[in-house]
Chains A and B, each alone.
Chain A
Amino acid sequence: MRKNALAGWLLLAPALTLLGGLVLFPILYNAWLSLHDKHAFLTVHTFVGLRHYVYFAHDEEFWNSFYYGVVYAGSTMVLQLLLGIPAALLLNEAFRGRNLLRGVVLFPYVIPTIVAVMLWKWLLNDSYGLVNHLLVTTGIVRVPLAWLGRDYIMWSLVITSVWQFFPFVVVTYLARLQTIPPELYEAATVDGATAWRRFVHVTLPQTRNVLFVIVLLRSIWMFTKFDTVWLMAGEGGVSRYIRTLPVYAYARSFTYLQAGMGAALAVIMFVLLLVATAVYFRVFRQEEALA
């Protein structure tokens, strides 16, 4: 190990300049902005203190966005686990074609969001979509559902998002499954444990930490997801039935051009995540998981 501080800092300088200038500084600037009234591109600004925060506390649209965000992040996270964990368990077994399937299952995660959303809008199209065709011909519903109308738009968004992001759960969980010592399973099998009991008594305790991380990361990332939600319904019409906080922050900043208010929403989102993360760590007491 060299003790050459200057060379060390010099090599780090490009990375630190970019991170400092384009992440840390904007974060501080954002906090400052949230205390001001500022147009998105005119240069004038006036100090308003905490007025934006007080405004949002009484803003029905804000509370709706918060509610939709929690519904969206919560339901997609749970469904990703319900789909991803069995898939990972399956892909951990030995069978012909397993490696091919391991590749295929990653496709949804690799294709760009714009494609995933357009594809699902086509599958869920009310008149010509394959999903409605199957539902009607199998007699599950009598008339085609308006998947992209106000009653089902949240369902469509959740389906699309779960499909797009469950591979993350598969890969992360599978990576951990592969490191469980086979002796543990052999011992359990000798003791006559059924597959379900082996899962509960060997697999779950072994994968507790990775599950902790998966739930944390997926919840944060779904709560702050912008592109999938935005592309699903844009800004007009039914978009108000899936308008989560990131989309609301975007609309405030770039549609109403109220940069100060948008900045305040970003701060609120950050604080919410911080509090939720702190509570999560307290409840599950697994500080070692991220180490």
Chain B
Amino acid sequence: MRRAGAGRAAALYAGGLSLLLVGAFPLFWMVSTSLKPSGEIFATPPRLIPAHPTLENFQRLLADTNFLTFFRNSVIISLTTVALTLVVSALGAYSLTRFSFAGRDKVAGLVLLTYMFAPIMIIIPFYILVRLFGIANTRLALVLSYTTFCLPFCLWLLRAFFQSIPIELEEAALVDGAGRGRAVWHVVLPLALPGLIAAAIFTFILAYNDFLFALVLISSDELKTLPVGVNDLFNATIVDWGMIMAAGVMITAPAVAFFVAVQRYLIQGWGAGGVKG
């Protein structure tokens, strides 16, 4: 390898800096705005860093709006979806990799086909069905729709992970007298952990982010999730930019925290499957 010249290093850092600006500056601006008192938000010229930082935007958001209700709904629905999706897709993926039966490969292909459908293409029949079953305007309706939409990806991802775990390890545990359940719990699942975590992140982000299903399936205020609830706030009156940016910061925090904590697993997952969005 050639020793890196000064020109090359300068180019790399210039590129890196512009990428940093593109990726992070808008978020920095959101945080900065959320901490400014209303007078400063509309100041010309705009200040990069608030001169008199304040939490009054956050106070207004929490005291005067249903933000916390939306927040709770989002977290409950997203976490329930993650749990349900992991169980259903782990069972299915285990079946697809450890049992042989007629039609198995057809099932796998069919799963991939459903992955090609965008929510907007089935939202109408979905809405009619949900009303028919009497679960319109319930959290259950949202959990079921998100689970269904994450399943194809999670099944494919976990199938790839289970395939990479040598079946001999499991058989060794069985020979040692462990039951099948114990063999799976103590041998297979720990080895598939990166895959399970990647699937969990993917599912959480999709459920937490969804706008269309929540818009169509939920009508009462106390059941709304963050995207729809905050969009209502945004449309309600003259836009209170400080409060809206404070809401943005609070919505982003859990997603980013979750993501940073397990980022390296996510990148493995991306390598194994691909991510929809």
By a beta-carbon cutoff of 8 Å, the part of chain A in contact with chain B is: 1-5, 7-12, 14-16, 18-19, 22-27, 29-30, 33, 40-41, 83, 86-87, 90-91, 93, 95, 97-98, 101, 103-115, 118-120, 122-123, 125, 128, 130, 133, 137, 163, 165, 167-168, 171-172, 175, 186, 189, 213, 217, 220-221, 224, 226-227, 230-231, 234, 246, 249-250, 253-254, 259, 262-263, 266, 269-270, 273
Contacts and interface: CB of A to CB of B under 8 A. Distances in A.
Contact of A90 (B12, B212, B259): B12
Nearest to B255: A110
Given A18-B144, A86-B15, A103-B263, A262 B124 contact: yes
A168 B276 CA distance: 9
Contact of B167 (A1, A108, A213, A263): A1
Nearest to B241: A122
B92 A15 contact: yes
Given A14-B91, A26-B125, A107 B23 contact: yes
A110 B212 contact: no
Q: 7 closest pairs, A vs B, by CB? A: A8-B99, A224-B118, A15-B92, A11-B95, A5-B101, A26-B125, A227-B211
Nearest to B127: A40
A125 to B, nearest CB: 8
B25 to A, nearest CB: 9
Given A87-B19, A107-B27, A230-B211, A30 B101 contact: no
Nearest to A277: B116
Contacts of A24: 110, 114
A119 B107 contact: no
A171 B23 CA distance: 14
A33 B124 contact: yes
29 contacts: A5-B101, A5-B102, A8-B101, A11-B92, A11-B94, A11-B99, A12-B91, A18-B148, A18-B151, A19-B114, A22-B129, A22-B145, A23-B122, A29-B125, A30-B125, A90-B15, A90-B16, A95-B13, A98-B16, A101-B16, A101-B20, A106-B263, A115-B30, A122-B30, A128-B42, A128-B44, A130-B46, A171-B267, A269-B121
Contacts of B82: none
A165 B22 CA distance: 12
Contacts of A217: 274
B50 interface: no
B209 A30 contact: no
B24 A107 contact: yes
Nearest to A17: B88
Interface SS majority for chain B: helix
Nearest to A116: B26
Nearest to B212: A226
Interface of B: 1-2, 9, 12-13, 15-16, 19-20, 22-24, 26-27, 29-30, 33, 41-42, 44-46, 87-89, 91-92, 94-96, 98-102, 104, 107, 110-111, 114, 116-129, 131, 144-145, 147-148, 151-152, 155, 167, 205, 208-212, 216, 226-227, 230-231, 234-235, 241, 244-245, 247-248, 251-252, 255-256, 259-260, 263, 267, 270-271, 274-277
Given A93-B12, A112-B208, A263-B125, A104 B20 contact: yes
Contacts of A19: 110-111, 114, 148, 151-152
A111 B255 contact: yes
A247 B274 CA distance: 26
Nearest to A164: B277
A175 B270 contact: yes
A105 B20 CA distance: 7
